[in-house]
Structure 1
C-alpha cells in the first residue's frame, strides 16, 4: 500500500509490494528515488538514492530516476547549446539539459496500493521554452520484483507537439560485496553506436568489445541505437540476478529508440542505463523525434525487472 511521510520539510511517497520497497517524491520531478529489495534478511538497493541528498540542488542529485521531458540530453539550435528550434515555426527557444520536468512541479492525480499517476505543472520557464497546449503524465506501476513507467503526452492544442523524452535510472553497481564493475556484463543487441559531440552532432563510435562490462571505459556516455530487441540486461557474468530493462512493448523497437550508458566517475557507486525515445538533440537532426498530432496522445513505456 502507499504511505506518505515527511522528512526535512519534504513529502515522500512509499509503496511496499512483497519484498520490494519503492520510495518517490512524486510532486517534485515525479522522481522515483529508490527501489530496495529484502531477501533472506539482506537488503539490496536496485535503484540508488544518495544519503544526505542536496534538495537545494535537486536537478543535480545523482540518484533515482530523473524524468527527462520534453527532450533529453543537450539540445542545440544551429550549434547554440541549451536551445532548440521548433521544426513547426522555426522559433529558437531555451531548453536546459534534460528538459524542464527533472525538478519541475507535479501533482498526484491518482494513487493506489501499487501505482501512482502524476501530472506535470509547467513553470513560467517551461511554458516559455515549450509553448504548447498539452498535458504530460508520469505513471508508475509496482510489483514485487518489477516496475513499469509510462510517459503520456496529450495534445490539447491545434498544432502538433514534438517530444523525445527519456529516463535516467541510477542503478546501484556493484551490488555484491567483493565484486567490481568489470565483474558485471551488459547484454544489449545494438547495431549502431554514437557519441554526442560538443557541437550537437552525432558522431559514430566503435562497438564495444564483447562481452561488454561496466569496467570498460568505452561504454561511458555511449549511445546505442538500432536495437534488435527491446530487452537490455545486466548483471554478474554468471548470468544470475540480472536487471532487465524493456523499452516499449514491441520486441523490435524503432530504429532510433535509444539506450545510453553513463556514470559520473570510475568509482561512482552507480551506473546509469537510460532508455530514451530517440537520440539526443533530435530537434536538430530529427533522429528519433516524435510528434503528437492535435487531439491525440502518445505513450512511451519502460519496464525494469529482476530476473
Structure 2
C-alpha cells in the first residue's frame, strides 16, 4: 500500500513498506525525480535507516552481556509502517517495537517518519524517535534517497553536478571495506562545484562530517534548468553515492545521524561511534527537506 500527497504542483507517493519515498513528480513538466528502483542497479528508492546506519562489525553488537545480530542499515526499511496521520499534504507513518524486533534490538521504541509538503515545490522529511522503554536506548537513523540522473532523456550523467554550501573544506570520513577508519580521514574541498564523475565513487560513498551544522546540497544539470536541493538541518554526516561499475543512472544524497562501526569497534552498542542515546520518554528529531525544480 502507498499514500499520495498532492499540493497541485507536485505529487508525492510514499510506501507503507519501510515508510519509503518512492515518487515525486512535477505535475507541470512530468519530471520524476526519485530513482525508480531498477533491480539491475539498486532495487530501492529512498530507504529509511534505523536503528543503525551502515554496517556493524560482524553484523553483531552486545548489550548487557548479550549478543544480537543485525544486518546493514537496520530493519526499519524492511518493515511495514502504520499511517497515524494523513492529509492532502502530510503523512506520518509509525513503526513500534515488537517481539520480532526485540530478538535483534532489545529496546522499546516508536519510530515515526513524517512527510510534509511545506510549499509548492518543497517536501520536508522528519525522523522522530521516542523512547518508550524504562531505560536509555541507543540508535542511529538516516535517509538514503536516490534521485534520477539524468532527469531528462538525452542528457548525460556528466551533465550534472553537486554544489555543497557552505563552500569550504569539510572533514571527509572514509571506510575501510564497510567500516569507518578514522585514520584515513582527509579534507574535502567544496569551494568548487563537484561535476559528476563515476571515478569519484570507485571507493564507495563520499562521506562528509557535518557535525550537526546545516548544509544545502544542489544536484542539478549544469545550466540549473532542473534538479533538487536538499537542506539538511542537523545531521552528523552526509553520504554522496552512486554505483561505480554499473554506471547506474542515479545519485543518492544521504543525511545520517550515525555511521558504520569503526574498524576497532568493541561491539558494545553503548560505545558505538556516533551513536545516539535517548532517555526514557524523551524524543529525538532529525530533519531535512527537498526542493524540486
Which residue of the partner structure matches residue 17 of structure 1? 7
Distance 1:104 1:12, change over 3 A: same
Once the two structures are superposed, the pairs formed by residues 49-88 of structure 1 within 5 Å of their partners are: 49-50=36-37, 62-76=43-57, 81-86=58-63
Report how many residues are paired. Answer: 276
**SS of equivalent to 1:207:** strand
After TM superposition, the runs of 4+ consecutive aligned structure 1 residues lying more than 3 A away are 121-125, 208-211, 226-229, 238-242, 282-287
Give 1 or 2: higher strand fraction: 1
Gaps of 5+ in 2: 263-268
Which residue of the partner structure matches residue 3 of structure 1? none
Tell whether the 8 Å contact from 2:173 to 2:180 is kept in structure 1 after alignment: no
Tell whether the 8 Å contact from 2:96 to 2:108 is kept in structure 1 after alignment: no
Gaps of 5+ in 1: 1-10, 55-59
Once the two structures are superposed, the pairs formed by residues 1-307 of structure 1 within 5 Å of their partners are: 11-26=1-16, 28-39=17-28, 42-50=29-37, 62-76=43-57, 81-86=58-63, 89-122=64-97, 124-142=99-117, 143-188=119-164, 189=167, 191-198=170-177, 200-202=179-181, 203-205=184-186, 207=188, 210-219=192-201, 220-226=204-210, 229-248=214-233, 253=234, 257-265=236-244, 266-281=246-261, 283=269, 286-306=272-292
TM-score when scaled to structure 1? 0.80
Q: Which moved more, 1:239-248 or 1:13-22?
A: 239-248
Distance 1:205 1:284, change over 3 A: farther
Bigger RCO (CA 8 Å, 6+ sep): 2
TM-score when scaled to structure 2? 0.84
Q: CA deviation at 1:216?
A: 4.3
Deviation digits for residues 25-77 of structure 1 (CA, Å, limit 9, x no counterpart): 12x111111111132xx3111112246x79xxxxx96332211101111112x
**SS of equivalent to 2:277:** strand
Residues in 2 aligned to 1:187 and 1:201: alpha-carbon distance in whole angstroms: 25
